[in-house]
Amino acid sequence: MEGEPTLRLRVFDLNCWAIRYLSKRRQERVRLIGDTLCQEGFDLVLLQEVWSEQDYSDLKVKLASCYPFSHYFRSGVIGSGLCVFSRFPILDTLLYQYSLNGYPYMLQHGDWFGGKSVGLVIMKISGIIFNVYITHLHAEYCRDKDSYLPHRLVQAWELAQFIRHTSKAADVVLLGGDLNMHPEDVGIRLLCGWTGLQDAFVEATDIKGCKNGCTLVPNNCFTDKSELLPFPLGIRIDYILYKAISSFTVKCEELKTTMGPAPGTDIPFSDHEAVMATLHIQRQGQPVGATLGTADPALADVVTEARTEVGVGLRAAQRQRYSSGRMAVLALLLLLLQAVAALGTLAGLGADQPFPKLSFCLLAFLALGVLVLATGLHLFHTMEVKMLHGTEDQMWMALRALQERPSEG
Amino acid sequence: MEGEPTLRLRVFDLNCWAIRYLSKRRQERVRLIGDTLCQEGFDLVLLQEVWSEQDYSDLKVKLASCYPFSHYFRSGVIGSGLCVFSRFPILDTLLYQYSLNGYPYMLQHGDWFGGKSVGLVIMKISGIIFNVYITHLHAEYCRDKDSYLPHRLVQAWELAQFIRHTSKAADVVLLGGDLNMHPEDVGIRLLCGWTGLQDAFVEATDIKGCKNGCTLVPNNCFTDKSELLPFPLGIRIDYILYKAISSFTVKCEELKTTMGPAPGTDIPFSDHEAVMATLHIQRQGQPVGATLGTADPALADVVTEARTEVGVGLRAAQRQRYSSGRMAVLALLLLLLQAVAALGTLAGLGADQPFPKLSFCLLAFLALGVLVLATGLHLFHTMEVKMLHGTEDQMWMALRALQERPSEG
């Protein structure tokens, strides 16, 4: 295959929604996904939300003959949920855990426990070095008042930086995953602008499946219809992005999404639709050069916009750090007051009045509980402030670099 | 300077031991470090344990004329402590936080709160691209029974992987920092073997300062003498490592350490000695190629040794996960029993006996406290297991790659 002029690569990407005990008809759907992947014979499969290692192991056994190479990225409390299956050998892997990923106390939004990350898998196909990235960013629970936007922007920025810094020896970069951002969102513009990645849906010559390439559609029986009310056609939040770095070009021949129920069954693979891209990779006579820099003035605006949002998050985190710190101090003061009162009683002061032992103990425990929780929160928000501040700094450095060297990548 | 055949680079590395409220004579020492750096005029300064951003800002103001470029890496609760000062422009930065870094409940060993990381700074000096890494790994508190060894090995592995994956476009790689490992330790052999980095102390033609290049010496008035009892000359745990990637060679002309008190004063810079290296970087006629692979059979042994230690850590973490989980279940059972007893009393059962309200409440709060703590511990050790398991997997993949392609980098 070495030296072959054109390589055709079929990529499959899906957020599997395979949360043990919580996702509906999980095992049935994982079996269905496995069967379809075997039949269809893609080259590369990028799966998210495979939260159970048992599901991964089952898939690995089932797919062993058609996808002999695979990797599961472990992180967080319940795992990263990210895994890759491939027809071609995986040479190396690396995991980067995002520094911010929601709040551990938001139990109803379990993102924090997933340890959201980006996984890198390096492969060599027909002599071409592929850096394949797979990720899943923090969910958007309320678009109008999206309190997780600063965290998602930090993730998008770290994702872009990670790709830029680790892909310098690659010929082709691929990124697949659930980015939880609409195509026009600032995070997507930041990611694409800062890395030079192109959107397979935008570049595709042939598009099949859901209208506008949507991957969260009302037709899917597992989606939450109320969330999609403002978007009757659905939304597009799952992506396949790509770019060629050295002397190669990548073209997207076909982009396809699934449309609700899988063929021959009554259920879809997941609450998301799968994205499938057929890419053509061709060797060029001479290096193409960095793709960054073509739209620099616009890119500076995008970085500024993202930085403003991160700044909003920073100020919110500073407020929360302050109020949790104040709460901890108040609880500590209450405990000290109680200690004084208890010592006073022991010393015989006010011995004529009955000492309310029970309420006293209850109050002490309450104060202690508040102290522990508020201290924990204070530490957490201090870390959050650090990371938001650090990202603001990095973005500022990027802006300076864009202004100083407008034509350099 | 572009095209100059030889570049001479003077690098300064120091663990500053600048912990607010805890480190002795901190402000005096930070001033002293700043003054010396101004006088000596190094090209590149790598500082660790600058925990206070105020100290960094003060240094930045003082060093503005001789080191106009600098970067502070923010992470964790109290920061990463890592910062870089440079005579040459910093083009880009990236921070990678290690996935494991001790335990939050080991308050006396504050490592967890520092958010230990590796920082990358990219610079272009005389047309040569430098990837400069700065890091500080988890401390070793007891060499005979080092319970943090698996965490430090995971960090050394992640450091090596991060360097390998991010340095592919660099001409020269530099790593400076407090690695908290002796030169013969498995972590150092793993780091050097897997990245191809060379130890400036080993390669230097001229060595000055403490014997054996030690950086933690009994002569220093701030060191804990009891810790150094088995090592009368001291230990070497601070390093400057380097390698040339493409068509360059790097040679260490001189390696120097400080020796206790700074010249003209009665105090040393820190409890660590500073490491200073003078490097000669020369352009070669043709690419040197990857340095990895020269000692592959030995490298496979090193990776196996490291993997065994990570496995030991994994089993310990699994035990802790199990026992904290069991404790949480027992606390929950106790709470349920108490709820049944309370309901029984409310229903009028055993009304002839006085109900011990106070002890009952105390016990309930105790059980609740244990439940919360044990659940937290269980979550933490679950994450620890995931990361140790993931590292074991990655090391296994590396071993397979070493065995399959013994000559490739």
Provide the ipTM. Answer: 0.86
Indicate the SS3 state at residue B87.
coil
- Decide if A381 is catalytic: no
Task: Kindly give, in sequence order, each residue whose CB lies less than 8 Å from that of residue A57, ignoring residues fewer than 6 positions away.
Answer: none
Task: Kindly give, in sequence order, each residue whose CB lies less than 8 Å from that of residue B406, ignoring residues fewer than 6 positions away.
Answer: B293, B296, B297
Give pLDDT, residue A296: 66
Indicate the SS3 state at residue A281.
strand
Interface of B with A in 62-121 (CB under 8 A): 73-79, 90-97, 99, 113, 115, 120
Check: CB of residue A69 under 8 Å from CB of residue A88.
yes
Contact yes or no for A94 and B387 at CB 8 A: no
Which residue from A209, A207, A140 is spatially nearest to A178, judged by alpha carbons?
A140
Q: Which residues of B touch A369 (CB under 8 A)?
A: 368-369
Name the one residue in this structure whose structure tokens are 């000096």. B125
A387/chain B closest Cα distance in angstroms = 6
User: How far is it, in rounded angstroms, from Cα B45 to Cα A396?
Assistant: 22
Which of A117, A165, A358 should we substitute to test contact with B (largest number of B Cβ atoms within 10 Å)?
Answer: A165
Give pLDDT, residue B319: 96
Cα dihedral sign for B99, A82, A383, B240? positive
Give pLDDT, residue A358: 78
Contact yes or no for A387 and B77 at CB 8 A: no
**Region label for A249, one of left (φ > 0), alpha (ψ between -120 and 50) or beta (otherwise):** beta
Angle between the N-to-C axes of helices B357-404 and A357-404, in degrees from 0 to 180, rounded to the nearest 10? 30
Low-confidence ranges of chain A (pLDDT < 50): 1-3, 289-295, 407-409
Query: Does A290 touch chain B if contact means CB atoms closer than 8 Å?
Result: no
HSE of B316, CA atoms in CB hemisphere, 13 A? 13
Which of A118, A386, A395, A403 should we substitute to test contact with B (largest number of B Cβ atoms within 10 Å)?
Answer: A386
Please, what is the average pLDDT of chain A? 89
Task: Kindly give, in sequence order, each residue whose CB lies less than 8 Å from that of residue B60, ignoring residues fewer than 6 positions away.
Answer: B70, B85
User: How far is it, in rounded angstroms, from Cα B8 to Cα B335?
Assistant: 69
User: How far is it, in rounded angstroms, from Cα A117 to Cα B318?
Assistant: 23
Indicate the SS3 state at residue A64.
coil
User: How far is it, in rounded angstroms, from Cα A136 to Cα A81?
Assistant: 8
Give pLDDT, residue A407: 47
Q: Which residues of B touch A166 (CB under 8 A)?
A: 165-166
Decide the pairing of beta strands B238-244 and B83-86.
unpaired
What are the E-state strand segments in B258-407?
275-283
Q: Which residues of B touch A161 (CB under 8 A)?
A: 94
Which residue from A163, A106, A102, A113 is spatially nearest to A138, judged by alpha carbons?
A102
List pLDDT tens digits, range B118-167.
999 999 999 899 999 999 999 888 877 888 999 999 999 999 999 999 99
Give the one of B79, B358, B397 whose C-beta lies nearest to A357's C-beta: B358
Task: Kindly give, in sequence order, each residue whose CB lies less than 8 Å from that of residue A381, ignoring residues fewer than 6 positions away.
Answer: A317, A318, A320, A321, A324
Task: Kindly give, in sequence order, each residue whose CB lies less than 8 Å from that of residue A139, ignoring residues fewer than 6 positions away.
Answer: A109, A111, A148, A180
Contact yes or no for B96 and A93 at CB 8 A: no
Give pLDDT, residue A342: 85
Q: What is the largest CA-CA distance in chain A?
A: 98
User: How far is it, in rounded angstroms, from Cα A176 to Cα A84?
Assistant: 10
Contact yes or no for B390 and A99 at CB 8 A: no
Contact yes or no for B94 and A362 at CB 8 A: no
| Candidates A71, A138, A151, A272; catalytic one | A272
Minimum CA–CA partner of A70 in chain B: B397
Report the length, in residues, of chain A: 409
> DSSP code of A13?
E
Contact yes or no for A76 and B389 at CB 8 A: no
Structure-block tokens of residue B295? 């000692």
Low-confidence ranges of chain B (pLDDT < 50): 1-3, 289-295, 407-409
| Candidates B138, B151, B272, B381; catalytic one | B272
pTM of the model: 0.90
Task: Kindly give, in sequence order, each residue whose CB lies less than 8 Å from that of residue A153, ignoring residues fewer than 6 positions away.
Answer: A186, A187, A190, A306, A309, A310, A313, A391
Give pLDDT, residue B409: 38
Q: Which residues of B touch A99 (CB under 8 A)?
A: 75, 95, 97
Alpha-carbon separation of residue A227 from A223, A232, A273, B155 (angstroms): 8, 10, 16, 42
User: How far is it, in rounded angstroms, from Cα A282 to Cα B233?
Assistant: 61
User: How far is it, in rounded angstroms, from Cα B13 to Cα B273?
Assistant: 9
User: What burial letters (b/e) apply to A264-282, b meaning 16+ CB within 10 Å?
Assistant: eeebbbbbbbbbbbbbebe
Check: CB of residue A223 under 8 Å from CB of residue A217.
yes
User: How far is it, in rounded angstroms, from Cα A61 to Cα A88?
Assistant: 16
Indicate the SS3 state at residue B282.
strand
Give pLDDT, residue A286: 61
Query: Does B169 touch chain A if contact means CB atoms closer than 8 Å?
Result: yes
